[in-house]
Amino acid sequence: IVKKFKKRVSLKYYKNYPALGLSGNWNRLLGLSNAKYVMFLHNDDFITQKNFFYKLNKIIQIQKFPDIVSVATNIIKKNEQKKHITSFLRFFLHKFNSYILRRNFIGPMSSVIIKNQNLPKFNLKLRWLIDVEFLYKLRKRNWIFTDELIVNSEYNTPHSQHRKNFI
């Protein structure tokens, strides 16, 4: 995959020996990244929106370089799709920022694009709610929400079946 896209985009691939686990992988990614913003695409997340990163860059510039951009998520479960609306969640984060600990109402990590500056580490001791704990640490930062951009996330579905419908 890296060879296929290397001519079109700046892409680096690292494999950990031995495996570091999810938190260790994400911490290593943050340590290796020199980009202004980072985005975590997991194996069950994908982008189909044309010009996604161009639009994201425009939003970041218009919003004066926020710390976090949260985008909408199209959640795919078997034969149904449901849009996880971020603008509605804005209220909860700003009024009740501890609400993020009750459940992952933000969505998958792929729906959060984060400024790569003074970021905390992912907790290596956690097996579940790794992302929720990490995002909780970021709750006071300049966070914007947009429904203009959408990330797709599959739950318990064969990946190729649904991706063919989108691509």
Give pLDDT tens digits for 27-51. 999 999 999 999 998 888 999 898 9
Residue 58 has pLDDT above 80, yes or no: yes
What pLDDT, on the 0 to 100 scale, is given for residue 122? 95
Do residues 150 and 74 make contact, with C-beta atoms less than 8 angstroms apart? Answer: yes
Band (98; pLDDT cuts 50, 70, 90) = low
Residue 57 has pLDDT above 50, yes or no: yes
Beta strand ranges found along the chain (DSSP E): 37-39, 45-46, 68-77, 80-84, 112-115, 143-155
The span from the CA of 154 to the CA of 44, in Å, is: 5
Band (113; pLDDT cuts 50, 70, 90) = very high
Residue 84 has pLDDT above 60, yes or no: yes
What pLDDT, on the 0 to 100 scale, is given for residue 14? 84
Q: How many CB atoms lie within 10 A of CB 82?
A: 10
Band (10; pLDDT cuts 50, 70, 90) = confident
